[in-house]
Amino acid sequence: MEYILLAISAILVGNIILTRFLGICPFVGVSKSPKNTLGMSGALIAVVFLSAILAYALHRYVLVPLNLEYLKLIAFILIIASFVQFAEMLLKKFMPALYKALGIYLPLITTNCVVLTVSLDVVGTKVTGALLNWGEMLTYSLATAVGYALIIILFSYIQLRMQNSPKLPKPFKGNAIALITAGMMAMAFLAFSGMIK
């Protein structure tokens, strides 16, 4: 039950895009075609989940015993960058079709703030409080990534209809209307805020 609550709060109530504004660049920039967005969110879920596990293990079993917590930022970004590189090589070798479909989005995941923030969250920030245990950590990182994927997929369908609308004033074309629509989505998701606690 505790884990289900944690998952719901990470996906809907405290959604990482709409309440914490992370990963906005791909949210606004990339999510213009639903097909690409689907591919990217799949890759992103895998990268967030696996790199959070690596970062958590490194922090818990290496950095904390050696009193090197202040190095976590450098250590985590290196883990993420090398992990993405590694995933890219693996995919290229064993799943060339998927690799081709993902294209530029795979290397771009390195600079997606969601990956780094989830890794920092599972070892304790203001949002998650203290260091999580293994079960919580796995649930939290997976649910956050799923929440992110859910929003960018929904948003890509909205963008598809909106950006081609002939009634849109010229200055609003592109990012401006995308941001305002995201604001509307955030308002809609406010309704979930009473669900837990």
Partner 1 sequence: MDEQKLTTPSEQPPVKKSKGKWKLLTTGIIAENPIFVLFLGMCPVLATTSSFSSAFGMGLAVIAVLMLTNVLISLVRKWVPNEIRIPIYIVIIASVVTIVEMLMNAFMFDLAQTLGVYLSIIVVNCIILGRAEAFASKNTVLDSLLDGIGTGIGYFLGVVIVALARELIGTFGLGFKNPFTGDVVFQLYFISKEFAQKYAINIFTGNAGAFIMYGLLTAGFIALNETVKQKQAAKAKKLVAQTAGGQQ
Site for partner 1, rule CB under 8 A: 18-25, 28-29, 70-71, 73-74, 77-78, 81-82, 110-113, 115-117, 120-121, 125-127, 169-172, 175-180, 182-184, 186-187, 190
Nearer to partner 1, 126 or 197 (CB): 126
Nearer to partner 1, 1 or 194 (CB): 194
Closest CA to 185 of 18, 29, 26: 18
Closest contact distance (angstroms) between CB of 23 and partner 1 is 7
Closest contact distance (angstroms) between CB of 127 and partner 1 is 7
Tokens of 150: 């859910």
Cβ pair 28, 175 in contact under 8 A: yes
Q: How far apart are the first and last CA of the chain?
A: 14
Closest contact distance (angstroms) between CB of 37 and partner 1 is 17
Nearer to partner 1, 97 or 126 (CB): 126
User: From the DSSP assignment, how many helices (H) and strands (E) are in the chain?
Assistant: 9, 0
Closest CA to 75 of 90, 57, 89: 57
Nearer to partner 1, 12 or 94 (CB): 12
Question: What whole-number distance in Å separates Cα of residue 37 and Cα of residue 84?
Answer: 18
Closest contact distance (angstroms) between CB of 87 and partner 1 is 15
